Chain A
Amino acid sequence: MRLRRISSHFPVFLVVVAAVLSAALGAQTRVGEALPASDTRQAALQSCPAIEEEIVDLEMLAQGLKKSKAVGLVEKIRLKSSINDILERFIDFHDGARDYTLEQLQEQYDVLLMRIASHLQQQDERLHGQLCNAWDIIWQDLENPDRFAEKFS
């Protein structure tokens, strides 16, 4: 009897849970406030162009940027500095520091790569294609403690 009463309320429960989740995911971040949890759904990066030579880490990306004619000297220095900054944040994270969560570091990584892609997409299709293909490969090395230690120890 009691079980039947609970099961009859189950669809209502599901609707409430869905509404709460939807509100949480759609919440807005005012600059200076906490960030909503990121959603892993993505349509992006599913059709990266075919490339001949792969980039497999941030150092190779930095080298590619250094040689690219699509980026001015000052921007090259700023981007290299940003790459170094995020690498240091990952070193600190894997050392146990918790200034940023892993989800926040992923977002910082994604936005940095969006910044780099913005520079490349019109003027350096080759490096842009390499960046597109490497986006998730590099992330996997950064987030995984063993792979990160292997690369940066």
Chain B
Amino acid sequence: MKPATLAGLLSLLFLASCGKQEAPSHEEIIAADLAEILALQGSPCGEVVAYTLDERLDYRIECKSGNVYRLHVSSEGHVMVKPSGP
């Protein structure tokens, strides 16, 4: 391959990587943050596959591992996690 062609291809790759990335969906943002909170709380989850917002600051979360948790914020502002029924 000619050096000029190679340089052209590399330039195209560079420009493509600099393109504006699509914004993540709302559900992806929430699922990622919920998974991180569960990890911080020492509750194994891995990937969040579904969640229910029961009321503000109160979630029921289903993990890929099969674990189900209730994650909520107490009246004192503490984040609480407890295993929940299927």
Contacts and interface: CB of A to CB of B under 8 A. Distances in A.
B85 interface: no
A48 interface: yes
Which secondary structure dominates chain A's binding surface?
Answer: loop
Contacts of B36: 115
Given A35-B26, A104-B26, A132 B76 contact: yes
Interface string B53-69: 11111101000000000
B78 interface: yes
Interface of B: 23, 25-31, 33-34, 36-37, 40-41, 48-58, 60, 71-79
Interface of A: 25-33, 35-36, 38-49, 99-100, 104, 107-108, 110-112, 114-115, 117-119, 121, 128-129, 131-132, 135
Given A35-B27, A110-B56, A111-B29, 5 more contacts: A35-B30, A39-B56, A45-B57, A104-B26, A114-B33
